[in-house]
């Protein structure tokens, strides 16, 4: 009877992976004696085949799930029409169906074996139990937590770490500076604040992160399962659940290349996906093909991760991912590269700002600030509401965070990007990646990026082809050896901390040369649209002195 109850209450099982003897990578948890023997099979992997009772009952429940929203929306109508009893009778008749999947699972030896391993792992997370549990793909809500945000001992002893409310974020300046914050002013602002809150938590969040919408995830489920199988089967991926400081559970996948002959396998690339991207099918493939160790994770509310993807939750998730990489996977910050695509630039720049010792940051098809892109897709009459809503609730201030990082940075600009341009894809100067580059260079090299330097970099950014870029570069006769010697001499004398005053006593031509040299080192063009996968040969480490 206990086993039957476990099957009734147990998670849905999607797929079974079979081991290939010693080729399976060991789990990264400490070993303890208790374990459960896993079944053996000559097949490498197979979709779980539910019995007829479980299969048909699941179909009925899925149909009921989608119809329930309509029934609930009509609840008060039915109530006032005296139809509450028929509606309650319908759900009462449906109640026995909830047990049918469990009965079907109980008659299935594959599911009984799975639930035995899952229960044993919850009781004792030994390396053997975790290894056997990794043979199954099931509802991630039932996966045991592998890493807790408070696990690093330094966090327990320090008062400067994240609290349960979340990690530190840069807060926007008030829209009306200098205004007295009196009670009357607060009352006047209240309707606008309520409207902004409602917009952000309904339409705004779903427009900004469509990957968090349930219907989209449901439609993508077969693709996500297939992508996850590829990572496990072909790349020996190891899945893990991380508990962030806000209570959200973060779904991650780690591919370890440290045991290969490729030297880049010693470096870990943490991938930050786009607003409809999942690690199962996202930008994770680029560093994998390039031979790096890779750690992918899903935004809060995406696939196996819980929560909703607001900036605070995003930063909380990124924090526990970095902590997991350092304290559980054993990578030093100097061996970690942060790689982001599109909206993932927010968590990438937050990590760079908060963990300044990371090796490098690579931002592909990212932007400087969300406000101009939000204004692009909304009516002009909503300008004030959109600006206020973004600043208060969805403030993705990538450039501001990136300027707090002192290490190597590479920006990849898509020359046909249709998403982060504010006009049309052909207008390359409206690409917000340009603004990200200019703000970074102006912060780091303010004397070089004065009027002459800024003007010549804008000309270079406006070039529509590699030939035109090279023409502008050669027109100003940029001497790269001279530029390097100037920058190295300044660094040796003044140290690496930005901003630098290099270029202060330099001629206009000298500033132009340095500005073009720095722009070319910090930004590479990729002739593609926003969603075109980045080839492995385009994944290059950022330039540094």
The two beta strands, 147-148 and 238-243, are parallel
Q: 494 an active-site residue?
A: yes
Distance, in Å, from the CA atom of 295 to the CA atom of 353, rounded to the nearest integer, reads 19
Cβ atoms of 213 and 275 within 8 Å: the answer is no
The residues that bridge with 15 in the sheet, in sequence order, are 47, 137
Write down the residue that tokens 């054993």 correspond to. Answer: 330
Burial label, 432 (beta-carbon count in 10 A; 0-12, 13-18, 19+): buried
Q: DSSP letter at 166? A: B
Active-site annotation holder among 251, 369, 417, 435: 417
Distance, in Å, from the CA atom of 448 to the CA atom of 444, rounded to the nearest integer, reads 9
Cβ atoms of 324 and 374 within 8 Å: the answer is no
End-to-end CA gap in the chain: 68
Write down the residue that tokens 């132009």 correspond to. Answer: 512
Q: How far is CA 154 from CA 160, 162, 352, 367, in A?
A: 10, 12, 20, 34
Cβ atoms of 138 and 115 within 8 Å: the answer is no
* Residue from 10, 262, 248 nearest 138 by CA: 10
Q: How far is CA 481 from CA 110, 244, 476, 545, in A?
A: 66, 47, 15, 12
Residues 285, 286, 292, 296, CA torsion sign = negative
Give the number of other Cβ atoms within 10 Å of residue 125's Cβ. 18
Residue 421: phi and psi, rounded to 5, are: -95, 150
Burial label, 316 (beta-carbon count in 10 A; 0-12, 13-18, 19+): buried
Distance, in Å, from the CA atom of 118 to the CA atom of 536, rounded to the nearest integer, reads 37
Distance, in Å, from the CA atom of 408 to the CA atom of 338, rounded to the nearest integer, reads 11
The residues that bridge with 339 in the sheet, in sequence order, are 271, 362
Q: What residues contact 457, with CB distance under 8 A and at least 6 apart?
A: 437, 438, 441, 449, 515, 516, 519
Active-site annotation holder among 342, 354, 359, 366: 342
Distance, in Å, from the CA atom of 354 to the CA atom of 6, rounded to the nearest integer, reads 43
Active-site annotation holder among 139, 494, 501, 509: 494
Kindly list the catalytic residues: 342, 417, 494
């Amino acid at each position: 009877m206990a086993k039957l109850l476990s099957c009734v209450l147990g998670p849905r099982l999607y797929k079974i992976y079979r081991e290939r003897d010693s080729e399976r990578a060991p789990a990264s948890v400490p070993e303890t004696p208790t374990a459960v023997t896993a079944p053996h099979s000559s097949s490498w992997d197979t979709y779980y085949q539910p019995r007829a009772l479980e299969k048909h009952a699941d179909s009925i429940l899925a149909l009921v799930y989608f119809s329930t929203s309509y029934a609930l929306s009509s609840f008060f109508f039915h109530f006032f029409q005296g139809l509450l009893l028929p509606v309650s009778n319908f759900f009462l008749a449906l109640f026995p169906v909830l047990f049918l999947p469990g009965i079907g699972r109980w008659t299935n030896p594959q599911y009984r074996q799975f639930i035995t391993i899952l229960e044993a792992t919850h009781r004792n997370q030994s390396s053997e139990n975790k290894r056997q549990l990794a043979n199954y793909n099931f509802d991630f809500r039932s996966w045991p937590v592998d890493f807790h945000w408070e696990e690093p001992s330094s966090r327990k002893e320090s008062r400067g770490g994240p609290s349960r409310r979340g990690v530190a974020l840069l807060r926007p300046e008030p829209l009306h500076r200098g205004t007295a914050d009196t009670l009357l002013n607060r009352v006047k602002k209240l309707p606008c604040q309520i409207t902004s809150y409602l917009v952000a938590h309904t339409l705004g969040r779903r427009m900004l992160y469509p990957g968090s919408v349930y219907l989209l995830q449901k439609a993508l489920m077969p693709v996500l399962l297939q992508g996850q199988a590829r990572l496990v089967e072909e790349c020996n991926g190891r899945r893990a659940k991380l508990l962030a400081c806000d209570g959200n559970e973060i779904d991650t996948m780690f591919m370890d290349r440290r045991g290969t002959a490729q030297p880049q396998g010693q470096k870990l690339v943490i991938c930050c996906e786009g607003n409809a991207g999942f690690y199962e099918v996202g930008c994770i493939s680029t560093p994998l093909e390039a031979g790096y160790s890779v750690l992918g994770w899903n935004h809060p509310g995406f696939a196996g991760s819980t929560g909703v993807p607001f900036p605070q939750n995003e930063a909380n998730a990124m924090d526990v991912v970095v902590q997991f990489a350092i304290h559980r996977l054993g990578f030093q910050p100097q061996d970690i590269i942060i790689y982001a695509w599109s909206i993932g630039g927010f968590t990438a720049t937050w990590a760079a700002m908060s963990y300044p010792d990371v090796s490098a940051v690579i931002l592909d098809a990212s932007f400087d600030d969300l406000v101009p892109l939000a204004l692009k897709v909304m009516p002009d009459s909503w300008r004030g509401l959109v600006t206020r809503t973004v600043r208060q609730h969805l403030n993705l201030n990538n450039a501001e965070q990136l300027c707090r990082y002192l290490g190597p940075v590479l920006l990849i600009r898509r020359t046909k990007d249709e998403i982060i341009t504010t006009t049309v894809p052909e207008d390359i100067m409206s690409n917000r990646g340009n603004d990200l580059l200019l703000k970074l260079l102006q912060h780091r090299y303010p004397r070089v990026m004065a009027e002459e330097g800024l003007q010549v970099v804008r000309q270079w950014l406006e070039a529509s082809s590699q030939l035109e870029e090279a023409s502008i570069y050669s027109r100003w006769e940029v001497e790269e050896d001279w530029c390097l010697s100037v920058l190295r001499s300044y660094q040796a004398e003044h140290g690496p901390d930005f901003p630098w005053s290099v270029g202060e006593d330099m001629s206009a031509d000298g500033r132009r040369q340095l500005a073009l040299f720095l722009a070319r080192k910090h930004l590479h063009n990729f002739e593609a649209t926003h969603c075109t996968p980045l080839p492995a040969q385009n994944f290059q480490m950022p330039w540094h002195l």
